A and B are shown apart, each in its own frame.
Chain A
């Protein structure tokens, strides 16, 4: 019998909170994107834990799709960072107000 799922869920909740905190307090856009990755990983861990607790493969399949979405999100996000850095010569979140319509 392996460890109960509650420990994993608690750990995932804490990691998600740390990621959310970083997203709120950091101003470097690259670090903010890394914090988004932290939050996605915490959600993945929750899905895998529920998949084991409920004996259902669906949770693992969703983690598979989350990985793809995370990759696409990083590619587009970093493209936006590069495009804005070309105009403003910096990569803090305050520089992104030029995207205002």
Chain B
């Protein structure tokens, strides 16, 4: 019954999937159980690389490259910057449970949701994809890069333009959040011995950390 869903397979494909799935799962569990946030970030990198391998296995080569460059190269590095600058890379005790029954309830909720999802996936055909969609095909001359580019710049052009507006809003929001209330960075209540070297019109990547560094020296 489930043969069309799980398919017939070759050994190489199955082996690649098994290894990548093991990497993804162990990385995901590591993110949750690691006590040190730096270890969590490194486990996240492992998961992202595993997902990139799964993308390549499904002929999404461009997305695999973007996944590695954007996620592992930009987002995780941003996480690590903030962890280092805030100095929160000390270990957190996982044994302490401030909210009573939080963990059993969370585990029960998640297991229930997962069971429901699997039951729905095995039982209903609409949830696992019936071939009734008539979008642009994946197999076009030029491979997935050409198909994706054509799709983004024709069908999804408006969404693409809105995306640029979203990025500008995020940059402005990060600058506004990271500067101090009332004035240039570091001019109000200057910490002893700390010089602020950061211009407040910098890009979003450097600005949150730049706002924190004068605090960091004074600690």
Residues of A within 8 A of B (CB): 1-11, 13-15, 17-22, 24-28, 30-31, 33-35, 37-38, 41, 44-45, 48-58, 60-61, 63-65, 67-76, 78-83, 85-86, 90-91, 94
Q: Mark B1-44, 1 if CB is under 8 A from A, else 0.
A: 01011111110011001000100110011011010010011001
Contact check, A61 vs B156: say whether CB atoms are below 8 A apart: yes
What residue in chain A is nearest B114 (Cβ atoms)?
A: A17
Contact check, A76 vs B170: say whether CB atoms are below 8 A apart: yes
Contact check, A2 vs B13: say whether CB atoms are below 8 A apart: yes
Using a CB-CB cutoff of 8 Å, which residues 130-153 of chain B contact chain A?
131, 133, 135-140, 144, 147-148, 151-152
- How many residues on chain B are close to A (CB under 8 Å)? 98
CA distance A69 to B75 in the complex (A): 12
Contact check, A6 vs B156: say whether CB atoms are below 8 A apart: no
Q: Mark B150-185, 1 if CB is under 8 A from A, else 0.
A: 011001100110010011011101100110100000
Residues of B within 8 A of A27 (CB): 92, 98
- Measured between C-beta atoms, what is the minimum distance from B193 to chain A in Å? 18
- Measured between C-beta atoms, what is the minimum distance from B149 to chain A in Å? 10
Contact check, B32 vs A18: say whether CB atoms are below 8 A apart: yes
What residue in chain B is nearest A11 (Cβ atoms)?
A: B21
